[in-house]
Every structure is written in structure tokens, then in C-alpha cells.
């Protein structure tokens, strides 16, 4: 309970701005900050009625500003008028397949959106801390694993490049202008509320609930780092709370439960948790993706005292429960 009280004392009445607050991670972060007593302002591009943001009552306490991360004057207005103290830059085009099909739109959102946000913050003297969401994809393909924070950023496909750029821009604004920014690099986030059903976890759960065989686009052997969304929220908040006191500005932190799983192993784990006898369809069509990725979270453990609160299984069970409710109480009951 001490951590909760400490968190409440830090965030209570603090003016916080979140980009992408109707998105998957942004919705969880916004709701948690409301519950911790913060004054939350969120940038919303599209109205997404099914967003996790609108479950519960927290959204009624959020200042919602409709607009685009590509609109730098709007960002300056938000930071000024709402007297923002802390910024979480979460907004991004986050789907690898979409980035491959539409690279320019992805670059506009992920690269231009990031430098607009950083420039607006540079011009806003009240901003004391900024946390920018990068990704494990920013590292690109490396000869040694796991990824650690001092490795070069070597994205080579459109989404990966956009995240390498996001990361480097944040570092540049700190080194050149002293902007108080930290960077997060997380594995593949999962949890209830992810409405991108082309991602493997929500796709698999939805398929089982519909009595259909889940589809794996790749050969099933890609190895990934899967990270539960509620653990990600705690990681973001902890980093923001400690970045000034521990003089962490300009640094990047990996967050991971440090468990390696192939896509096929993950799908089979979900099928087992859902007590399903279905088997996956393996298309073997994966392209422009890194084969093997996983992160070391040693720095976060040692510097921040961070550790995940949920095991992979606990996170998956909570995720499955969310989608059962989302698709209806009787979803999947006829499947055996």
C-alpha cells in the first residue's frame, strides 16, 4: 500500500498530458492517472466508441482535445492553456503491417508527430518531464540478444525505422536543448482493450470465442517479448516519478518480463488457458519483420527498482476475461 500512497501524493492535482489516450496503452494510462488524482488532458484524433477509455467513469474527468499529433500549434496551445507539467507521448501508428503498406502515414504520425511534440514542449516552460514511447523494434536486428539500452538503434523496415527515429529525436532534444525527456522501450504489449485484432493475442482469443481456428501469418517461430499492459502503465508512472530525483533525463529504459516465446508457443498457451481443442492455421507468410527479439530489463530493475506485477499467465487470463465480456457473456461456450 505504501507505493499506492506515494503514487497518489506524486500525481495528485498534477497536470498531465497524454497523446493517444484512446489507444490501447494510452487508455489504461489515462484512467490510472485519473484514479491517482491527476488532472488529465488527452489528445484524441478519432472518436473510437469501443475504446477501453470509455469503460468505467474515469473518462468523464478527462479534458479531451480533438486534433492531430501532426498539428504543432495545437500541441503548444494544449501545453500552455492546461499548464501541463508532465507529458506522456504514446500516440503512434503501431501496426507493422499497416506501416509496410502505408509508410508515409506511419512516418508522419510517428516521426513528425514526435518532433512536433518535443518542439512544443521545448517552447513550454512549465513542462517538467516527458516520457516518450519508443519500442523494442527501434533496435532492429542485432547479432547479440537480449537488447540492452546502449545498443545502437538499427531499424530497417518502416515501423522499426519510425521508432528508431522517435527514439533518436527524443535523445537529440535532450542533448541539444536539455529537454527533460526519458524513453521507454517495451516488448509487444497485450491486454484487454486492444482493438487491433490483427495482433496475435486478441486475434487468437477472438477466434476461439467464435469457434474458429486462429491464424498465424508467419511460420510460428518468430520469438517475441510479450508485456502485459497494466505492468507497462506502472513502468511509465514509476519512470516519470523518479526521472528528476535520480537525474535520469535523456536516458532510455527497457521494460520486459524477460520471457521469450515463439508465436506458436504463445498461441498454444492461450488455447490451453481457454480450454480449447482448436489448432492454429500457419500461413508462413510473415515478411519485413525481425525473427528474434527480446529485451533485458536489468537497468529498470537496478536503477528504478522496477519489476513486473503479473506473470505472463496472469496477464493472459485477465486479457481473456476482458474479451469474454467484450464479445458477450456466452461467447465461446458452444466451442469445445
Burial of 9 (0-12, 13-18, 19+ CB in 10 A): exposed
| Closest alpha carbon to 230 in 313, 163, 303, 318 | 318
Q: What are phi and psi of 280, to 5 degrees?
A: -75, 150
- Going by their DSSP bridges, the two strands 252-255 and 181-186 should be labelled as parallel
The terminus-to-terminus CA distance of the chain in angstroms comes to 42
Q: State the alpha helices, DSSP H only, in the chain.
A: 2-11, 24-35, 72-81, 96-101, 103-107, 113-122, 158-177, 200-209, 229-242, 263-273, 298-299, 312-327
β-bridge mates for residue 133, sequence order: 184
Between CA 19 and CA 136 the distance in angstroms is 20
3-class DSSP assignment, residue 35: helix
Between CA 127 and CA 173 the distance in angstroms is 14
Q: Are 313 and 273 in contact (CB under 8 A)?
A: yes
Q: Which residue has the cell 480450454?
A: 275
By annotation, the residues acting in catalysis are 159
Q: Which residue has the cell 520469438?
A: 223
Q: Are 208 and 275 in contact (CB under 8 A)?
A: no
> Which cell numbers in the block locate residue 73?
500549434
CA angle 237, 239, 289 (to 5 degrees): 95
Amino acid at each position: 500500500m505504501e507505493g499506492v500512497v506515494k503514487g497518489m501524493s506524486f500525481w495528485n492535482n498534477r497536470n498531465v498530458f497524454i497523446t493517444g489516450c484512446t489507444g490501447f496503452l494510452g487508455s489504461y494510462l489515462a484512467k490510472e492517472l485519473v484514479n491517482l488524482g491527476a488532472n488529465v488532458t488527452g489528445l484524441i484524433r478519432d472518436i473510437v466508441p469501443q475504446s477501453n477509455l470509455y469503460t468505467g467513469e474515469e473518462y468523464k474527468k478527462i479534458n479531451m482535445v480533438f486534433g492531430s499529433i501532426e498539428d504543432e500549434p495545437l500541441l503548444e496551445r494544449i501545453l500552455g492553456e492546461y499548464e501541463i507539467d508532465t507529458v506522456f507521448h504514446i500516440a503512434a501508428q503501431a501496426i507493422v503491417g499497416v506501416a509496410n503498406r502505408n509508410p508515409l502515414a506511419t512516418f508522419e504520425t510517428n516521426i513528425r508527430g514526435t518532433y512536433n511534440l518535443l518542439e512544443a514542449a521545448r517552447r513550454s516552460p512549465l513542462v517538467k518531464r516527458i516520457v516518450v514511447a519508443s519500442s523494442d523494434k527501434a533496435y532492429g536486428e542485432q547479432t547479440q540478444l537480449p537488447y540492452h539500452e546502449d545498443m545502437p538503434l538499427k531499424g530497417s523496415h518502416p515501423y522499426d525505422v519510425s521508432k528508431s527515429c522517435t527514439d533518436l529525436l527524443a535523445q537529440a532534444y535532450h542533448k541539444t536543448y536539455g529537454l527533460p525527456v526519458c524513453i521507454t522501450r517495451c516488448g509487444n504489449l497485450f491486454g484487454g482493450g486492444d482493438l487491433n485484432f490483427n495482433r496475435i493475442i486478441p486475434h487468437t482469443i477472438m477466434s476461439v470465442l467464435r469457434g474458429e481456428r486462429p491464424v498465424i501469418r508467419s511460420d510460428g517461430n518468430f520469438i517475441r517479448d510479450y508485456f502485459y499492459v497494466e505492468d507497462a502503465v506502472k513502468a511509465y508512472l514509476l519512470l516519470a516519478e523518479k526521472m528528476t530525483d535520480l537525474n535520469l533525463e535523456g536516458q532510455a529504459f527497457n521494460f520486459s518480463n524477460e520471457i521469450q516465446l515463439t508465436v506458436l508457443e504463445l498461441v498454444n498457451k492461450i488455447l490451453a488457458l481457454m480450454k480449447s481443442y482448436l489448432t492454429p492455421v500457419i500461413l508462413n507468410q510473415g515478411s519485413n519483420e525481425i525473427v528474434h527479439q527480446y529485451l533485458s530489463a536489468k537497468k529498470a530493475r537496478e536503477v528504478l527498482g522496477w519489476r513486473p506485477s503479473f506473470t505472463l499467465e496472469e496477464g493472459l487470463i485477465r486479457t481473456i476475461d476482458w474479451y469474454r465480456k467484450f464479445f458477450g457473456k456466452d461467447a465461446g461456450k458452444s466451442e469445445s
